[in-house]
Amino acid sequence: MKLIVGLGNPGPKYAGHRHNIGFMALDRIAADHGFTAWKDKHQGSISEGRFGSDRAILLKPLTFMNNSGQSVQAAMRFYKLEPEDVIVLHDEIDLAPGKVKHKVGGGHAGHNGLRSIHAHIGPEYARVRLGVGHPGHKDRVPGYVLHDFAKADQDWLDDVLRGVSDGAPFLAATEAAKFSNAVALRVSPPRSGTGQKGKDKPPAPTKQQATKTKAEPEPDTRSALQKLMERFR
């Protein structure tokens, strides 16, 4: 069984914030895969379900971002899970918007939600880093992540959330490469054709078609009177 955690802040005030993309991803997974209705438990909100034979618990900590680790630890104790059974989905300012990366272990890079989880369960859990872009200066980061996504972000954001949902069964099965591929198929779908320049141009005629074209007579544009006069020359 996997505990899939989405990071964010509770309440409608924060619902559209970049910092809440983890919550958004879990909402999409729960809706797409027929998980149970959300209920408050373990200092968070949980939804239960299965991806085939793999059981999973979705958890949105309701402790606010800085204390996310309390909720994660409480859920782990209840379900008797280890850090390797935990997957955390969170916003990542060091990735471009629309980029998604999977990793296991490592530092928290100053992310307050990860910092809290590190303090409560250690660093050896999996993370799905959901790129939201960087505002350009570190002093602008708090205001940037605690602000709604722009209208211009909605298309790529929808692709990312759908891609993460498509790949969720692979997360539960610990198949990171297949998860990443499922996301890529949504975010960067394969193009039709050969991918070469000029792929939208019509295909060149075959040799047979070219010969047939050359052999075709020129259309007769003479008037009826001209044709009659030609007969009596």
pTM: 0.81
> Residue 181's closest CA among 171, 191, 172, 193?
171
Q: What average pLDDT does range 79-94 have in this prediction?
A: 97
pLDDT at 120 over 50: yes
Q: What are the structural domains of the chain? A: 2-187 (3.40.50.1470)
Q: How far apart are CA 219 and CA 199, in angstroms?
A: 33
Q: What is the pLDDT of residue 193?
A: 57
Q: What percent of the chain has pLDDT over 70?
A: 82
Selecting among 19, 42, 90, 111, the annotated active-site residue is: 19
pLDDT at 98 over 70: yes
Q: Which residues face 148 on adjacent strands?
A: 17
61 contacts: CB under 8 Å, gap ≥ 6: 5, 7, 43, 44, 67, 68, 70, 71, 72, 113
pLDDT tens string 189-198:
887 654 454 4
Q: What average pLDDT does range 6-13 have in this prediction?
A: 97
The answer to whether residue 137 is catalytic is no
**SS3 assignment, position 10:** coil
